[in-house]
Amino acid sequence: MRLRIPLLAVVGALALCGLGASAASASTTRYVSTSGTDNATCDSANPCRTVQHAVSIAGPGDTVRIAAGTYTEQVLIPKNLTVLGAGIDSTTIKGPDVKTFDAFGKTYIVETTSGATVNVAGLTVSGPSGPGGGLDCAPNSLSLDMGVAVVNNSTLNMFNAAVRKIYDIDPVGAKNSGCQRGDAVSIGKPGGIGVPLTTGHANLAGVVVNDYQKDGVAARTAGTTLNQAYTQVVNQPSSVIASNGIEVLDGAAGQVRRNSVTGNECNLAVYCGPDPFNNTEASGILSFAADPSTTIAENQVSANDMGVYTDDGIRIADNQINDNRATGIYVDTDATKLHATQNTTNRDGYYGIAIGPAFPPDFPTPNPGGNFFIGNTAFGNTKYDLYQSPGSGPNVNRNNRCATAFPSRTYWDCRSNGGGERDDSPGGGPRHGHHGDGGPANRND
């Protein structure tokens, strides 16, 4: 499904990215072409051959204009620049098979750094085609940690662009090594234990992110910000890893609105599966220890294991979260002061909205309560439309609509859909289990 971007949003994104005539006329334009040769000016009569060379000679505020073609290289951008291609999949910056490491010991294709503000539009960033990775998951120059990285308090404004095929190709030819890397867009601290903290800022609009190993878009670290709207984040089910479409983690603040997120399913035997209380799961949108100002609103989230996961007191509103394999919205034990309002969670495999016990299942501490569920709609979910784990604290529930609920439809203040649905409120129900943010398949941030 392709999201339609309103004209005002396009104009706003153009202004945000500095792509208006006044911004362009105030800078020198550097040109890059597959038929060029790297030189001292990269002017229109003498275009350069590599994007990195044009970036290196450009002055702050310049524009780098890249002609149609494929440019196999890594690009590090430490200064204020605008980078324009000829269009998605017309201009492609493709990662080389052998890559260098950044200051964090991570490999990348395009990275912004040093507090720079970088505007990017009209191009694709793509992973390499050669083998890489390794089954031991150790860092190496063949592996691909990040497609686009935003670090050292830099800002990326990306519009009308794509990030594709961000994964390892392991030695036996599989396109996904199962290692905890392969973020299409990484903002702030790169994933991994022991990596130094850093912040970043990203504004993404009209961006397509597809086919990634671990995360589509991941924002990490207190002080990091993500504004993401009108993007498509699309992955394929995996038999080796639990991916996540959009993540806001570890103190980062996110405004995630009007995006489409699909295809995050994990089929790793033993560990992964559709039961949210007993299996590790992939997520469409995941909020984990995020800044409380984070908002997840007006998104279309479907065909994932779990539509939206949170353990935070954030705002989740007006989302269409339907046809996910396990659960529409999963509320973990840490969440309190969560505001979930006006969401629809229909036809999900197990639960529409589930308030679960603690992770891991060996310590099933109930959720303390204090959350708000107002005006949500849930019908046709296999186990319960609305479910709260036994022992969880009281929440504020008003004007919800459902067919089945635990502990009861009365507790959830749940009205029917006019079809005379019965109130299924038996005791028991699953008590132990976890949402997948630990275990071999899922994240190691």
pLDDT digits (tens, 9 = 90+) for 148-179: 999 999 999 999 999 999 998 866 666 788 88
Which tops the pLDDT comparison, 193 or 379?
379
403 touches 416 (CB < 8 A): yes
Statement: residue 329 has pLDDT above 80: yes
**What tens digit of pLDDT does each residue of 394-422 get?**
999 999 999 999 999 999 999 987 543 44
Query: Residues 6 or more apart from 327 whose CB is under 8 A from it?
Result: 276, 306, 307, 345, 348, 349, 350, 351, 352, 353, 354
- Give the three-class secondary structure for 309: strand
Mean pLDDT of all residues in the chain?
Answer: 87
Q: What is the largest CA-CA distance in the chain?
A: 77
Which tops the pLDDT comparison, 396 or 272?
396
Q: Distance (Å, rounded) from C-alpha 150 to C-alpha 185?
A: 8
- Confidence bin at 437 (pLDDT 50/70/90): very low
Element (H, E) at 233: strand 232-234
Statement: residue 310 has pLDDT above 90: yes
Kindly report whether the global pTM for this prediction surpasses the value 0.95. Answer: no
Q: Distance (Å, rounded) from C-alpha 348 to C-alpha 273?
A: 14
- The per-residue pLDDT for 270 is 87
Statement: residue 13 has pLDDT above 70: no
224 touches 263 (CB < 8 A): no
| Helices (H) then strands (E): counts for the chain | 3, 35
285 touches 255 (CB < 8 A): no
Q: Distance (Å, rounded) from C-alpha 31 to C-alpha 47?
A: 5
